[in-house]
A and B are shown apart, each in its own frame.
Chain A
Amino acid sequence: MSEADPSLQRILVALDASPHSQAALDAAVRLATDLGAEVEGLFVEDETLLRAAQLPFAEEVRASTTSPKALTDRRMQRQLRYQAEYAEQTLRRAGERAEVTVEFDVVQGNVTRELLNAATEVDLLVLGKTSTDSSRRQLGTTSRTVLTDAPAPVLVLREVVPPQQPVLVYYDGCPAAKTALEVAARLSRRGEARPIRVLLPASDDATTERLRDEVQSYVGDPEMPVSMHVLTRAESRRLSAFARREGGLVILPDDCVPLSQVPLRQFLYEIDRPLLVMR
């Protein structure tokens, strides 16, 4: 790992037993391979759940049974332990396959809080977006909070990104955007030469020209499959829809204009693509 990137060396992935967590794990492992990083898996035993299970009248409603089932502390603990074991196994197996160093940790507490807490010590947080059919919008509170509040860059995704799809990078000249560009370039170089599309904000010609030059000089390598696109105002306002059409991984700097124009929740819902927010 001679080319290790000091800026993205530790990747934290939030694990549970769901399919989207599996996608997050896959993405994390892939990124770790591409970037020469190591992966830390974190399983949070949700304290809300544990506490709810301790209530004397706790009952669980399931889709498959007709009447609610009593929820006990012991059963809940057992289930969580089982999930944690499963998550660890999956992580270790993925790590072995990709020859990536992995670590695994279980903590108990509030999921969001624990994730934010753990994010302070890593360079990138990968998160599976909850996306079961019935809760794609509502229960995305965790992703939303982490996205806004995490000190590290956050990658949110629902499905694994197919390797040949392009990487979309929004570049407005801010430091986070530079990091974003660098990550994109790195992914393209290490991965199977993914095309990079750099999106430039709608602005006056001089600014656009300046940004263009910056991108050129930053990327440097003429072999790199980079193309640039100046967003129209309409496209900028509806970046989520635009990105969704273009496909692939989307890298945005934190606090960029398109992100601030719409509520994050709506943006996440609409984009439906892996989203990496750099800061």
Chain B
Amino acid sequence: MIDSLSPDTLRTRFDASQFDFDTTEDLPADTQVVGQNRAVDALEFGMNIEGDGYNVFALGPSGTGRRELVQHLLEEQAADEKTPPDWCYVNNFDEEREPTVIQLPAGRGCDLKEDVDDLIEELKTALPAAFESEEYQSRREMIQEEVREGEEAALEDLQERAREDDIALIRTPQGFAFAPIRDGEVVAPDEVESMPDEERETVQERISEYQDELQEILRKVPGNEREARDRIEELNREMAAYAIDDFINALRRKYSNLDAVLDFLAAVRADLIENVDVFVQAAQDGGQQRQMLPVMQQQGQQGGGGERPALDGAFWRRYQVNLIVDNRDTDGAPVVFEDNPNYQNLVGQVEQIAQMGALVTDFNLIQPGALHAANGGYLILEARKLLTQPYAWEGLKRALRNDEIRIESPGQALGLMRTVTLEPEAIPLDVKIVLVGERMLYYLLDALDPDMDRLFKVMADFEEQIDRDDEHEEKYADLIATMIADEDLRPFDCSAIAHVMEQSTRLVSDTEKLSGHVEHIRDLAQEASYWAGQDDADTVTDVHVQRAIDAQVRRADRMRDRIQESIERETIYIDTGGEAVGQINGLSYLDVGGFSFGKPNRITARVRLGKGEIVDIEREAALGGPLHSKGVLILSGFLQGRYAQRRPLSLSASLVFEQSYGGIDGDSASSAELYALLSALADVPLRQNFAVTGSVNQHGVVQPIGGVNEKIEGFFDVCQERGLTGDQGVLIPASNTEHLMLRPDVVEAAEAGDFHVYPVETVDQGIELLTGIEAGERNEQGAFPDDTMNGMVEARLRAFADRRRQFALTDGQAESAEA
């Protein structure tokens, strides 16, 4: 008969005196991570290695502080790196659909934008002023006058010469006519009639000559006017250049080392000169047009080519600089965390505005995405969010594959839509992506997406458990201190830290480990600090920590309370004393919304003659999961192996979790089921003051299970409610001993001898405890002694086999008996 575990093994105590500090105030509080060496090494490798595709996937359970840690490490690394350049989009004056991108040293992008805005402000007054000036007006008039006077002189000359020939040039409503005159008056028609033919012909001939000459003069008029227009245009260009060049040249000098900017300035100058008519028009309209229209008018996209743009706000937009990446205030390389990684937020977008019912856009409406902001640095994304956004994952991969950011709408990228929009020049991309996600996502992506291998070559795997040793404990304390400092909480004394670490161990159900789930620890610290505040305590002690834990449980345990109540009121039948055949207290483990607890379950077994099958009622009713079925099959394997070597296993047994109305899975009840079955076979009652957990293998070895603490506590709570009798206890697999981190009240009961935990290694040990009868081993003849459990089981099975053979001999009877 094995002994129960000593109370001090039931809960691993952290000795507060091992810490060499009084409160967390004494700690440096600069620990961001403990025990994640594999992940940290991988991250560092990923950050430092050059080359395509060395992006990092930081995987691990959520709440382990992956994102914060990644961000912290990246920021540390990035601080020493080179600050990447600024990027601007400017108008492409040759092809407005494809805005040009300009790269500038960090900080100069903003300068350029401001300078160009200033330039526009200057030109807004300088250019129209140039065309309103006296000088321009008189030069323009002079040109027009010259042409006009040339024509008039020709006409005058013609008129003069005609007059000498007594021929007058007369204006008619639609043109000119020639008529012979005498004494300043047009000759009367009858006088012409009466002229001698010769004279008349002469007059007619002359008139005809003059008409030809006049025709020639008139024919030249359009040409002359065109020439005048050309000369005026030349003048306009000259005036514009004169007004612009001072400003432009000042900027040229300022940006003389940046060829792209010089090109842009040259393009602006050329375009201003080309559009000089706008300013001339504005000057002629007396500046009325200069009042800005509230709506932007897009040039080049609508209205077609020949139309002259109006001189309003929209006109000047074309010269602006759209600064999309401004690294003026960035120290080192940027580290960007995009909280909402949808397609547009990643690669940027071209916004549109509604104008007169149509959507229009221009390069000023190009909005940068996270990739722009992180270019030259690091971008952190959460994999789950990224994958739930349509096309975001594909968009990101495309940018990484092509090493450039091309702004397209998703519809455009997929080729579904071709609305008129912009196709901004692509920006070269040099960024390290760190995706943060659960393991499942990584493995799924790795299995299903062939690009994964190429684009995310580094995996940084985060542990949810941290090895417990002196160094880690020390760092863990400092990690808690860091949280306290970050969250500005009350200082924790060493007892509180010890208690937090005990809870951390409890969270991972392993006394050799600490929880890597920093979120839980942070919550606990926060709540403990709150309770300390309720007590007006300056420092947080273990009492507050325990109170925080109790409160957490209290908030979450409604379900457990209801179940305990049902057991108490005997709606759910659980015996905690007495004996019964084929009936045992199993323990199940429930997880409800992050809160887990154990509860006892009655398991019963019935046996009869049969053809060697064990019916798992849970499975038959489709309430049992595959692991549970497996446990039952192993159990029958054990029975066959141990008791049915020489004759067929002629039993039919059924196993059931009583009063279980939901699904059940896991094999942790298989030992309990086996005990119930053995009890039923041997017809020996089992003691109901025990509960049992543990799975069993085909050789009868009891194997560890999960949730051992909660299961023990579940039975303890029921017993305590009814009053501890002193002989109550739980049988657990011996290998679970190191996972024990029981509640202090359970440990106290154990210390008082009121409650026991038995480490069981084999089924034989368990059955001895439960029945008080020796299990028994095969003697030299290969038989179990009769008064042992095994002997009684084997005898029953033998009896079944014999009866079955008899049935087989008397054929009909056997059939009817079977049916």
Contact = CB atoms under 8 A, between A and B. Distances in A.
Contacts of A57: 204, 207
B152 A136 contact: yes
B175 A61 contact: yes
A1 to B, nearest CB: 36
A108 interface: no
A34 to B, nearest CB: 25
Interface in A180-239: none
A36 to B, nearest CB: 33
B215 interface: yes
Contacts of B172: 49, 52-53, 60, 71, 76, 79
A58 B179 CA distance: 7
Nearest to B225: A133
Given A48-B186, A134-B221, A60 B176 contact: yes
Interface stretch (B124-132, B188-196, B750-758): B188-196
Contacts of B170: 48-49, 52
Interface residues of B, number: 33
Interface in A51-83: 51-63, 66-68, 71, 76, 79-80, 83
A56 B193 contact: yes
B218 interface: yes
B159 A138 contact: yes
A18 to B, nearest CB: 9
B156 interface: yes
A83 B177 contact: no
A262 interface: no
A94 B151 CA distance: 35
Contact of A63 (B148, B175, B193): B175
A55 B219 CA distance: 25
B510 to A, nearest CB: 96
A52 B179 contact: yes
Nearest to A83: B173
Contacts of B186: 48, 51-52, 55
Contacts of B219: 66
B179 A80 contact: no
B249 to A, nearest CB: 35
Interface residues of A, number: 31
B211 interface: yes
A59 B152 contact: no
Interface string A130-172: 0001111111000000000000000000000000000000000
Contacts of B257: none
A3 to B, nearest CB: 35
A17 interface: yes
Nearest to A58: B177
User: Which among A17, A54, A55, A66 has the greatest number of chain B C-beta atoms within 10 A?
Assistant: A55
Interface in A106-144: 133-139
Contact of B176 (A51, A55, A61): A61
Interface in B312-350: none
A135 B152 contact: yes
B173 A68 contact: no
Interface string B210-239: 010011001101000000000000000000
Interface of B: 148, 151-152, 155-156, 159, 168, 170-180, 185-189, 192-193, 204, 207, 211, 214-215, 218-219, 221
Interface of A: 17, 48-49, 51-63, 66-68, 71, 76, 79-80, 83, 133-139
Given A61-B215, A133-B151, 8 more contacts: A51-B188, A57-B204, A59-B211, A61-B176, A63-B175, A71-B177, A134-B221, A138-B155
15 contacts: A51-B179, A51-B189, A52-B178, A52-B186, A55-B179, A56-B192, A57-B207, A61-B177, A61-B178, A61-B214, A62-B176, A63-B175, A68-B211, A134-B152, A137-B156
